[in-house]
Every structure is written in structure tokens, then in C-alpha cells.
Amino acid sequence: MRTANPAFTSATFSAPSMTAGYGRTMTIEGTIHRTGILLLCVLATALWTWNQFMTTRDPSTVAPYILIGVLGGLVMALVTVFKKEWSAVTAPIYALLEGLFLGGLSATLEVRFPGIAMEAVALTFGTCFCLLLAYR
């Protein structure tokens, strides 16, 4: 399949195995554990941002976190795409930055549409967590 995505070049899947993290072989078990850790990173910063909002109930308090999350997440995503061997470091940083963005965005939307953020977050993270358990 042809694609313009720089993460999926022709050399992506034909390259010899590279060391990523603790070993040379990617397993389902390792993928589940790493995904769970990244999920916890996203949840931690999203909850922290949400807590910042709840103390003031003012969306302008989380606006800087949204901006930092978006711009920092974009930078980390680009670094990860072009330097795959750094992914053990860039993936958690990306997850933390995305948590800032998601927590701030959820807080902003909570002001406009009360109750929607908690339902969306619970369904999204709950589904991800349940799927991780099912794969395990």
C-alpha cells in the first residue's frame, strides 16, 4: 500500500529488529503494559488539569495547558516519527502533554455543555482499559 505518512515508509516494516526499551521482540504482553503506562500518564495530567479548572471554574485557567499540550504534543509526535529509537522517552512525554490538552479541553467543554466531559472521558478511558484487560 502506498502512503504519504512518514511513519509508514517502505523501510518501516522491512527494517531489521531494533532495540526498543528492554528487548528486541515486541510482544502482546509488552504492548499491553506499555499502553497501560501511557494511559496512566494521560490520566494523571488530565486529572491534574481538570482539578486546576475545578478550583476556579474559569476556563481561562486551563488555556495555557491546552496550548502547551497541543504544541508540545505536536513536537513530540514529530520527534517520535523521525527518531523512532527515542520513542521510549518521547512516548511518555507525549502522553503527559496530551493529558494536559485533553484535561483542558474537557474543562472548557464542560462549561459550554455541562456533564458531557465526564461521560466522554469515562467512556473513552473505560473502553481502552477494558480492551487492555481483554487482550491480556
Integer Cα distance of 99 and 7 in angstroms: 23
Contact between 90 and 101 (Cβ < 8 Å): no
Residue 29 pLDDT level (bands cut at 50, 70, 90):
confident
Instruction: Kindly give, in sequence order, each residue whose CB lies less than 8 Å from that of residue 35, ignoring residues fewer than 6 positions away.
Output: 128, 132
Q: Indicate the domain borders of the chain.
A: 26-135
Q: What is the pLDDT of residue 24?
A: 60
Residue, of 23 and 32, whose pLDDT is higher: 32
Higher pLDDT, residue 14 or 120: 120
Which grid cell is 14? 522491512
Task: Name the residue among 88, 125, 87 with its Cα closest to residue 106.
Answer: 125
pLDDT at res. 1: 61
Q: Note the pTM of the prediction, 2 decimals.
A: 0.79
